[in-house]
Chains A and B, each alone.
Chain A
Amino acid sequence: MDTILELKNITKIYPGGVVANRDVNFDLIDGEIHALVGENGAGKSTLMKIIFGMEQPNDGQIIYRGKQTEINDPNQAIEMGIGMVHQHFMLVPSFTVSENLQLGMEPTKGVFIDNKRLLEVTLELANRYGFYVEPDKPVENIPVAMKQKVEILKVLLRGAKVLILDEPTAVLTPQETKELFTQLKMLKEAGHSIIFISHKLKEVKEISDRVTVLRDGKTQGTLKTSEVSEKDISLLMVGRDITSFDMLRANHISDTTFSVRNVSLKLENNEILKNISFDVREGQILGIAGVEGNGQVELVKQLTREIPINIGEVKLLGQTIKDMSMHGMRKLGFSYIPEDRMEKGIASEGTIYENIVADRIVQDKFTKRGILNTKNIISKAKDLIKEYHVKTSSHNQKIAALSGGNIQKVVVAREASTNPKFLLAEQPTRGVDVGSIEFIHNQLIKLRDQGSAILLISADLEEVMKLSDQILVMYDGEIVAYFDNKDVSEEELGLAMLGLSKHDESRPRGAIANE
């Protein structure tokens, strides 16, 4: 049992002062599956980027196969036998599986690509590792789980001995996860070493030989997985006990706040959304579960009208939003927590106080004849920072200097503190640390109990099950199932998410209030 890769005292600080890693130690033994766990923002991704040559550490040593090395870029990492499967797949959608696999190393015949050989290589590779893929299909037409296999094969084809998998199960259903694990174990048998990044402890326990825990950019220790419990790991991760508690379901759901009727969307001849209808009612959290890429993103774009609504009808408090401006919608009580906080949720170069009440400034709440009442803005910002536990030294700090979780809290503070009539929460806790997740969940429950209607769209099944009063499942642009969140199991949801079980038409209509 030799150590193949060792990191010693790695420190990485980003411009802006964010300490991502500090004195991190990590070692990978030949032929093991080593889990790297930690809350989001603990520095896992940064550490992996350092191993894969995407980031350079400010300090520390990398020892690979007994030799101290510097890894300057991903190409060098690949040459050394290190491969990475990213959370977001890096594939060319219009290319076939084979073409993607051998991109940049295509077998040629003269100046042309040797298509026969292309196919052979793919089949041979897939057979060798027992991965089932369809070589001739364009990647855009294959399911997420298969895309992931293509990514893994891509790395293997380039001769990787060390595989880094960044949260590979985040986009998979429970059934697909099981399959992936079988394959990972086979790879291990074949002599590969795997770094498995996750924050789902159940999976870590199931798949890994050893586990390294990161918290706040520091290593908390490396343990033999068989010798520790999930609870031990979570204690190391968070530094305290996470209390799990039962959420109270909404007890009275009344009038419809937000209604969607027969919304369909076609983009470039693909049917992205098919006849979507549901209602979100006062005091209700309606969850939409589904594997990513089944139309959720487009649905949100329709509801926020980033893509104009052409087919169907969406009403907020009885008024159609088709031609309403975002300003008008917000005035009616619309709030939105976007999936990508950096892209839509904040102005990163602005200060916290400029961000935290942005909607209200636009609505003239803090202005007098156009002049900003900076004193009131700052005092309101200070209140919100306190109320929403945003960890910061000052309201005047650049918001980009905060951690992901704290940035998200600023977004939630802004969107939730206006007592919205309707809140669209799109992956509200993605990339957020456990403590903040808990806090944000509680805020959503509080809003619901105050009578807000909340539409929760999340690929995190746990989140949907924990918060929702009712659950819709989206598959391939369609609502395929409707559950009352009292008597539904993870398995049932999983099957619906895979498109394997579909409720008949009448049942999803349970999400529509009786008219």
Chain B
Amino acid sequence: MSDKTFQMLRTLLAVLIALALALIITFIVSDKPLESFSLFLFGPFRNLRYMGNVIEAAIPLAFAGLATSILFSANLFNLGSEGIYYVSGLVAAAIVINVNITGVGLPILAIIIAGIVGMILSLLPGFLKAKWDVNVLVTSLMFNTIYFGFGLYFLNYYLRDPNISQIASFSFPDNARLKRIIEGTRVHSGLIILLVVAFVVYIFLYKTKWGYSIRMYGINKNFSEYVGASSFGIIMLTHISAGLVAGIGGSVEVLGMYTRFRWASLPGLGFDGALVAMLAKNRPLASLGAALFLAYIRTGADLMSRLSDVPAEIVAFIQAAIILLISAERFLFYWRHKMLLKEADK
């Protein structure tokens, strides 16, 4: 059995164990455990609308996962997708509200500019890391808060619609919103953008010199330096490209799912991105699957909490169990051991 297959089986088993754990918890807390659990497991497949919910929820997760995969490939533990999502979504909102273009030109312009903004925002922690080797986990988390503060200020004083009571921007013009592409659901054309971006990220990471440099740097930065690659350049490039992807993700989410910009708190996608990237082992195309899976268990839990007596927080258990098992090096270690013995006997 190859290493790849082993890793895949391992991930699969982790997921199964986590689901089993969820089942046990359901049995403890629910009066009708089987019914509740089948809601959780099969609910999302009940009708087209629910399936649509899964896909809608998967789109921002996948963008965040792709951005984080690029960063993790370079072994840069940056959780900054969070703040970038917020600001780039806001920038997209500001553009569609203030710029007067008809037709699809408007959302396209908004997404491009949001992407560029994402690149710039990502560059700040990137530069600090590249120039002075500042711990990127710390700076990216700090920048999340800073960007969110600026964003909320901007929303409150420049974009807020005074005629409604919640914090929300003026409403978007109709042509700014991403078109729905599946009848009966809210799945929007952002899905197509996502598929294109995922493919481009895959090509970038695995078929170009830059992606190669990023991955080698991630494996062993001393090696990468000694063969003549510039660490400074690689760190900057990694951040720019991750920022671009996160920026596009933020704007796509806002223009695809909302009629106004309504985020009064951070969307939480920085950590979700890390989760997706870990599940997908930093592989861009696998990120799509990982995001779908996460969206599926969340939608299922959501349905379960609405229609039964089990709270949606059960998802947190499942996620925690999966992360633990996947990141635990020694999980299935013994089995792997036996396998090696057999292999060596051949």
Chain A residues close to B by CB (< 8 Å): 11, 13-17, 19, 22, 58-59, 304, 325-327, 329-331, 336, 338, 343-350, 354, 358-359, 361-364, 367, 370-372, 374, 398, 414
Contacts and interface: CB of A to CB of B under 8 A. Distances in A.
Contacts of B207: 371-372, 374
A371 B209 CA distance: 6
Given A19-B344, A59-B341, A330-B228, A347 B219 contact: yes
Interface stretch (B41-49, B146-154, B210-218, B272-280): B210-218
A370 B208 contact: yes
Nearest to B224: A347
Given A348-B219, A350-B215, A374-B207, A11 B341 contact: yes
Nearest to A342: B220
Interface of B: 3, 207-210, 212-213, 215-216, 219-220, 222-230, 333, 336-337, 340-341, 343-344
B228 A350 contact: no
Contacts of B336: 15
Contacts of B208: 367, 370-372
Contacts of A14: 340
A398 B226 contact: no
A346 B337 contact: no
Nearest to A11: B341
A14 B209 CA distance: 33
B215 A17 contact: no
8 contacts: A14-B340, A15-B336, A15-B340, A59-B341, A330-B228, A348-B220, A370-B208, A371-B207
A168 to B, nearest CB: 29
B228 A327 contact: yes
B184 to A, nearest CB: 41
B interface, by DSSP: helix, strand, loop or mixed?
helix
Nearest to A363: B228
- Top 6 nearest A-B pairs (CB, nearest first) are A347-B219, A327-B228, A359-B227, A358-B227, A330-B228, A367-B209
A422 to B, nearest CB: 14
Nearest to A359: B227
A344 B341 CA distance: 31
Contacts of B216: 347, 350, 354, 358
B223 A345 contact: yes
Given A15-B333, A304-B226, A329-B228, 18 more contacts: A15-B340, A17-B340, A325-B230, A326-B227, A327-B229, A343-B220, A343-B222, A344-B220, A346-B220, A347-B219, A349-B219, A358-B216, A359-B227, A359-B228, A361-B212, A361-B213, A362-B227, A362-B228
A462 B251 CA distance: 66
A370 B219 CA distance: 20
A22 B344 CA distance: 10
B209 A344 contact: no
B219 A13 contact: no
A358 B209 contact: no
